[in-house]
């Protein structure tokens, strides 16, 4: 048995030693990778399949549940954040039912169900008030947590003390709320207003102004109907809007002028004044239908004509109070002779005009005024005359168009004089650039610059040929070394002796020139197969 083991060991060593180094590394690496894969599969298959049974737990609740499960001898795993409990999947349902039967977890929160469970006669009024307030806080906290983006909430309510005296003003309650938001969640003004109304309507005598809401970072959420984001003050928001307007206008001008004059040849500065007033007004206007005549459209027309004729009739307009006459008495004219007549014409026309009712709500973001300053560096930096007056005038024309468009909705006059006051173009050498240090050129770089390009290409080609030739010689030398090793193995190899059939030993010339005949090759293959195999191997190596 030992001899067989030794023979197996020797054969294994001979076989292993015959392999090249690269093959040995490949075999060893394959064995190691296979072993690691087997270990991973065994570990993964032996690991229990866990499933979560509780989530969003507090540290106290997670510790209580973990202790209860470990006492039952069941594997349990707690998540990294300590809020989720996982157990083996095949035991999850039974375990959850058994824990619920034991009253685990005991959250310690008081809700309205406590009143139906503890309606005994031994509770005092003050105890009842405390329990009622605690239940109200917990129920309100639960309602707030149902809103998306709110992870947790804490509510503190202060209720007014009841008084036996009559108070016309009446005391009000107050509430303080701290919200824990999910990462990256921002509450808009509509959600904040809804929170205020939810809290105000859930607690008796709690006005909106007595509620304070803030998040875990101390950011207060103010109540308001406007759309201003409470996480950012009004001043900061207005500054951001104004800076955004200036930045957009500056980038547009910088890009356009930079494409014409060069990006490093022009600098633009924009200053804007923005009106954030949100105006809402109502106008009732009356305008004529016909703007040329200033008259309205006729609705009703009434024409009255009166006439009278008779003997010595006095005109009604003849009433007067001359000397000797009685006021309001129509005296006969003694000189009047013949018939008299009277005629009166009266037109009554009702006209209707255009009555216009307007409700106007103006946008709060209106550009009141704007100033644009542009600095241009001449093509020759130290020679201002290289920038012609025509170029400057073209730039001023572009700036005027921008200012005219930006102030089209404002009350600023848009004549040329007003536009000239709001733009400025000046030419000067830019001296504020960062100094650029030219890299110092050494002897080697100077020498390389002086050599022609074709010489460098020839040198690179020669180096490439040398590298390829060296690699070829290295592989050829390695092949010759393997041939020498094989020849040494052939020479040292001695075939086993045939103890049963003695054979005749003879020398055979191993060169192909002596075995050109087919008959001799066949004779060698029949009489001495081992020598024939050696000969074939030698021919294959030489080829």
Q: Which of 46, 62, 78 lies at the terminal end of a domain, its last residue?
A: 46
Shared domain check, 289 and 150: no
Shared domain check, 404 and 265: yes
In sign, the C-alpha dihedral spanning 478, 483, 487, 492 is positive
β partners of residue 150: 181
Provide the token pair at 158: 């202060």
Q: Does 433 reside within a domain? A: no
Predicted pLDDT of residue 501: 42
Residue 107: how many other CB atoms lie within 10 Å: 12
Helix (H) or strand (E) holding 272: strand 266-275
* 366, 419 contact by CB (below 8 A): no
Distance CA 399, CA 4 (A): 101
Shared domain check, 141 and 225: yes
* Domain containing residue 117: CATH number: 3.30.300.30
In the chain, the number of structural domains is: 7
Shared domain check, 135 and 210: yes
Q: Write out the E strands in 412-473.
A: 423-427
Provide the token pair at 351: 């006209």
Intervals of the chain under pLDDT 50: 110, 116, 226-231, 313-316, 329, 436-439, 441-444, 489, 493-508, 512-515
Q: Does 441 reside within a domain? A: no
Shared domain check, 463 and 537: no
Distance CA 250, CA 241 (A): 14
Distance CA 97, CA 101 (A): 6
Relative to beta strand 174-181, strand 211-215 is: parallel
Q: Does 195 reside within a domain? A: yes
Q: Does 439 reside within a domain? A: no
The burial of 268, by beta-carbon neighbours within 10 Å (0-12 exposed, 13-18 middle, 19 or more buried), is given as buried
Q: Does 41 reside within a domain? A: yes
* 66, 76 contact by CB (below 8 A): yes
Q: In what order do the strands lie in the sheet with 174-181?
A: 150-158, 174-181, 211-215, 220-221
3-state secondary structure of 507: coil
Shared domain check, 266 and 411: yes
Specify the DSSP class assigned to residue 411.
Answer: S
Q: Does 367 reside within a domain? A: yes
Relative to beta strand 423-427, strand 50-54 is: unpaired
Shared domain check, 353 and 284: yes
Distance CA 251, CA 38 (A): 62
3-state secondary structure of 212: strand
Shared domain check, 398 and 300: no
Shared domain check, 352 and 304: yes
Shared domain check, 123 and 195: yes
Predicted pLDDT of residue 280: 79
* Domain containing residue 262: CATH number: 3.30.300
Shared domain check, 217 and 118: yes
Q: H/E/C letters for each residue in 73-104?
A: CCCCEECCCCCCEEEEHHHHHHHHHHHHHCCC
Centroid of chain to Cα 193: 25
Q: Write out the E strands in 276-422.
A: 280-287, 297-311, 339-352, 354-361, 366-376
Q: Does 293 reside within a domain? A: yes
* Domain containing residue 77: CATH number: 3.30.70.1530
* 340, 310 contact by CB (below 8 A): yes
Provide the token pair at 55: 């989530």
Cα 194 to Cα 13, 189, 199, 321, 510, distances in angstroms? 83, 8, 9, 83, 104
Distance CA 208, CA 175 (A): 9
Shared domain check, 219 and 72: no
Among 134, 144, 141, residue whose Cα is nearest residue 114 = 134
Question: Which domain does 125 fall in, by range?
Answer: 113-231
Predicted pLDDT of residue 177: 93
Q: Against a cut of 0.95, is the pTM above it?
A: no
Provide the token pair at 162: 């009841």
* 326, 344 contact by CB (below 8 A): no
Q: Does 156 reside within a domain? A: yes
């Amino acid at each position: 048995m030992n001899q067989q083991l030794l023979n197996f060991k020797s054969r294994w060593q001979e076989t292993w030693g015959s392999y090249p180094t690269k093959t040995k590394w490949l075999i060893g690496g394959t064995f190691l990778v296979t072993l690691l894969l087997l270990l991973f599969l065994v570990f993964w298959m032996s690991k229990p399949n866990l499933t979560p049974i509780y989530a969003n737990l507090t540290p106290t609740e997670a510790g209580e549940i973990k202790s209860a499960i470990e006492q039952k001898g069941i594997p349990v795993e707690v998540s990294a954040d300590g809020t989720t409990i996982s157990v083996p999947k095949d035991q999850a349902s039974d375990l959850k039912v058994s824990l619920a039967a034991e009253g685990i977890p005991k959250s310690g929160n008081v809700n309205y169900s406590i009143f139906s469970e503890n309606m005994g006669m031994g509770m005092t009024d003050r105890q009842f008030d405390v329990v009622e307030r605690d239940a109200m806080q917990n129920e309100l906290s639960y309602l707030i947590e149902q809103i998306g983006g709110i992870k947790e909430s804490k509510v503190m309510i202060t209720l007014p003390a009841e008084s036996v005296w009559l108070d016309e003003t009446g005391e009000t309650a107050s509430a303080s709320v701290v919200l824990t938001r999910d990462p990256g969640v921002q509450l808009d003004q509509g959600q904040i207003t809804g929170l205020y109304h939810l809290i105000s309507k859930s607690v008796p005598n709690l006005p909106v102004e007595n509620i304070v809401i803030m998040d875990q970072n101390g950011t207060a959420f103010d109540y308001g109907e406007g759309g201003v984001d409470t996480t950012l003050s009004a001043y900061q928001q207005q500054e951001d809007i104004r800076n955004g307007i200036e930045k957009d206008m500056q980038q547009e001008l910088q890009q356009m002028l930079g494409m014409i004059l060069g990006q490093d040849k022009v600098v633009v500065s924009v200053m804007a004044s923005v009106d954030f007033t949100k105006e809402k007004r109502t106008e009732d206007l009356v305008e004529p239908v016909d703007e040329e005549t200033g008259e309205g459209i006729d609705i009703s027309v009434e024409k009255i004509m009166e006439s009278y004729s008779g003997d010595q009739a006095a005109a009604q307009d003849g009433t007067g109070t001359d000397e000797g006459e009685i006021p309001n008495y129509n005296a006969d004219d003694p000189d009047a002779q013949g018939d008299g007549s009277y005629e009166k014409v009266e037109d009554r026309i009702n006209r209707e005009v255009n009555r216009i009712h307007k409700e106007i709500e103006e946008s709060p973001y209106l550009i009141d005024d704007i100033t644009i300053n542009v600095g241009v560096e001449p093509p020759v930096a130290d020679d201002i005359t290289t920038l012609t007056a025509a170029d400057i005038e073209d730039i001023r024309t572009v700036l005027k168009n921008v200012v005219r468009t930006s102030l089209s909705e404002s009350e600023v006059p848009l004549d040329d004089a007003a536009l000239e006051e709001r733009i400025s173009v000046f030419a000067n050498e830019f001296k504020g650039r960062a100094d650029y240090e030219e890299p110092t050129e050494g002897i080697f770089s100077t020498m390389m610059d002086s050599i022609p390009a074709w010489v460098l290409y020839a040198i690179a080609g020669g180096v490439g040929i040398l590298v390829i030739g060296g690699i070829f010689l290295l592989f050829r030398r390695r092949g010759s070394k393997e041939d020498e090793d094989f020849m040494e193995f052939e020479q040292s190899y001695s075939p086993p002796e045939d103890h049963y059939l003695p054979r005749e030993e003879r020398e055979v010339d191993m060169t192909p020139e002596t075995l050109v005949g087919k008959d001799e090759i066949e004779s060698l293959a029949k009489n001495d197969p081992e020598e024939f195999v050696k000969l074939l191997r030698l021919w294959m190596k030489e080829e």
